[in-house]
Amino acid sequence: MRVVRRSWSALSRGLLLTIGVGVIFAIAAVATCFDSGPAPAAENKTDPKFVWPKNSRFACSGVLAQEDGYRLTPDGGMLTWCSADIDDKDESRVLRACKPGQRCEIKGTITGHGAFTWVEITSVKALP
């Protein structure tokens, strides 16, 4: 039986070669993922009804409804959050401009997480 002894330099070269080959394969795999082309447009597009305005300012139209307080039942195409609750401090102002069951436009700021509320209404008007 013949015993083969390797020096540390030979072992370290072998180890570095193995690591180098692994790194090359990893880079090739990542490059393949990036080179697979863009995703189809339908998968990449965000539904505009779910895009929160950067400044939290909303312009919403819909029918004023009374359900444990007041809120809009948004027109089609409005942002999802347009059905936010109208704060008690703004109820009288909204009711002066718009009656329940009537179409209205409300502009202002909405905040919340899970439950959303108009925190600042800058304008409210009845619509035809």
> What is the distance of C-alpha 73 from the center of its chain?
22
pLDDT tens sequence across 100-119: 999 999 999 999 988 999 99
Q: Domain locations in the chain?
A: 1-37, 48-126
pLDDT of residue 92: 95
pLDDT of residue 84: 96
pLDDT tens sequence across 49-88: 677 677 778 999 999 999 889 999 999 999 989 999 999 9
- Higher pLDDT: 125 or 22? It is 125
Arithmetic mean of pLDDT over the chain:
79
Can you list the positions of beta strands (E) in 3-113?
57-66, 70-74, 85-86, 103-113
pLDDT of residue 89: 94
pLDDT of residue 125: 96
Asked whether the predicted pLDDT for residue 39 surpasses 50, the reply is: no
Structure tokens, 82: 């347009």
Q: How far apart are CA 93 and CA 98, in angstroms?
A: 9
Q: How far apart are CA 55 and CA 120, in angstroms?
A: 13
In this structure, which topology does domain 48-126 adopt according to CATH?
A: OB fold (Dihydrolipoamide Acetyltransferase, E2P) (2.40.50)
